[in-house]
Structure 1
């Protein structure tokens, strides 16, 4: 909406309690109240789920995923999350909220189960300045 003076104003969605109602993980629950839905909005905007679904279904992503993993990507989860997000925003459906939060938890847990490929160094190796012996045979 255009405010006085012609500038645009955006109203932030703030819950009744004044805070965001999210815990540190951002999964939509307050501590101590696991049984009822409390958070007024999904963990991410619904457009993010839609964008991820569209990206997943794209030809370039399908080729890359097939090359890297030997199978086509499964995009159904993004579509289900998008539909649950819309149901959460539209109807304030508790089942949709629980499904979306559970899906986000599973996504976070899936990311955490794989270790990084490279071990990060804090300092360079002690002999980093020495020339490499490429011509030397073992």
Structure 2
């Protein structure tokens, strides 16, 4: 993903400056958000059309940063991106069904149960792999391709 802020400038700029997209992407997102197709989708999913003004505001602020290197404009876009990310991950953080863990289970790589090993031995992929290893792979015949 390209960013508006060059990588070599990141150490001298506010934290999370890498979140800022290319300015043109904000304009494209605004156009997409305002399209008939998107508005129909928004109405279908949310019961109302969404406010697209933030995309336009981000575009204006991004262009201001590009043209004048105004740090307040950059910080405004960073805050908007942080809010967008927070909303996108809200379901993940609110999920209390699964217990989050810090490391994989100790037996994560134990052998499969016998019935799964048997199923694997009978699978098409396993048979083809075995045929290839034994040199029985016959690809000279006709092959059916659906396109």
Q: 1:29: which partner in 2?
A: 14
Alignment of 1:55-134 (within 5 A): 55-115=32-92
Which has the larger Rg? 2
Is the contact made by 2:61 and 2:76 (CA closer than 8 Å) also made in structure 1? yes
1:112, CA displacement in angstroms?
1.2
1:91, CA displacement in angstroms?
1.1
CA distance in 2, matches of 1:58, 1:92: 31
Q: For this pair of structures, how many residues does the alignment match?
A: 96
Q: Name the CA shift for 1:42/1:88 in 2 (closer, same or farther; >3 Å).
A: farther
Runs of 4+ in 1 over 3 A off after TM superposition: none
Backbone CA RMSD of aligned residues: 3.6
CA distance in 2, matches of 1:95, 1:62: 31
CA distance in 2, matches of 1:64, 1:98: 31
Per-residue deviation, residues 105-130 of structure 1 (Å, max 9, x unmatched): 1111111111399x8xx9xxxx9x9x
CA distance in 1, matches of 2:31, 2:87: 21
Structure 2: gaps spanning 5 or more residues: 99-107, 109-114, 120-147
Structure 1: gaps spanning 5 or more residues: 1-12, 23-27, 32-38, 130-138
Normalized against structure 2, the TM-score is what? 0.54
Q: 1:44: which partner in 2?
A: 21
Write 1 or 2 for the structure with the bigger share of helix: 2
Normalized against structure 1, the TM-score is what? 0.57
